[in-house]
Amino acid sequence: MNNTFLESVALRRTIYDLGSSLPVSKETVTKTIQEAVRTSPSAFNSQSARAVILYGDESKKLWKIVLDALMKIVPKDQAADTKSKIAAFDSGAGTVMVFEDMSVVKKLQDDFPIYKDNFALWSHHGTGLTQFSIWTALANIKVGASLQHYGNLIEEEVRKTWGLPSSWSLIAQMPFGSINSPAGEKTYQPIEERVLVKG
Ligand SMILES: Cc1cc2nc3c(=O)[nH]c(=O)nc-3n(C[C@H](O)[C@H](O)[C@H](O)COP(=O)(O)O)c2cc1C
């Protein structure tokens, strides 16, 4: 099958072993992430996704915030493993933080009361699509990344540190960098059992 989009989709993998030297310029990474966020779909074209790209020391600041928060709650015997896990995220070139602007979601709920109960769910669908676009677009320029979720532990501190609006809800953190080691082998369930074809 000749489909460059699907080739990029297959190229996207979870990369944990990251290096700090990017295979492309910072500007290219920034433009790639901006374009992924700009073109991703959202419910009612509400464009509620927000992102903050942290490079170098700014990214290190984030992973220190995460580590400090984790050290308050992880059992002592897991502290060393936790430190080395976070150190791997910290060793990349940067991190994209992905948010949803809940003031946009609230406005949709107010403006379209008959769909009120759906907008929070659709906001989550939308952020997933945006995250996928960013992750895949980075893979396409040979930048490795993974998807992390520490928002509940660090959201307040993150808003304070980078002066972000209180309506921005932190959904995911995507550490990225050069690919030091490729992702491990991935197995797939038989596609015929997952995708049925009728007619
Ligand atoms: C919604 C979602 C949440 C995920 N959360 C995490 C996470 O918190 N930490 C992590 O290391 N990987 C996380 N992952 C990555 C998955 O573990 C990974 O995508 C899956 O094992 C398939 O591997 P691949 O990304 O290399 O294709 C998440 C993936 C998805 C789609």
pLDDT at 153 over 90: yes
Range of the domain at 65: 4-194
Asked if residue 156 belongs to a domain, the reply is yes
Asked if residue 157 belongs to a domain, the reply is yes
Asked if residue 33 belongs to a domain, the reply is yes
Average pLDDT over every residue of 28-52: 98
Asked if residue 39 belongs to a domain, the reply is yes
Ligand 1 centroid – CA 15 distance (Å)? 10
Asked if residue 16 belongs to a domain, the reply is yes
Ligand 1 pocket mutation pick from 14, 86, 170 by most atoms within 8 angstroms of CB: 14
CATH of residue 65: 3.40.109.10
Please report, for residues 15, 42, 90, 146, the alpha-carbon distance to residue 127 in angstroms, rounded to integers and kept in the order given: 20, 8, 23, 15
Asked if residue 168 belongs to a domain, the reply is yes
- Digit-coded pLDDT (tens) for 127-143: 999 999 999 999 999 99
Pairwise CA distance, residues 71 & 109, whole Å: 38
Whose CA is closest to atom 7 on ligand 1?
148
Average pLDDT over every residue of 153-177: 98
- Total tally of structural domains belonging to the chain: 1
- Digit-coded pLDDT (tens) for 64-107: 999 999 999 999 999 999 999 999 999 999 999 999 999 999 99
Tell which phi-psi region holds residue 54, choosing left (phi > 0), alpha (psi between -120 and 50) or beta. beta
Asked if residue 199 belongs to a domain, the reply is no
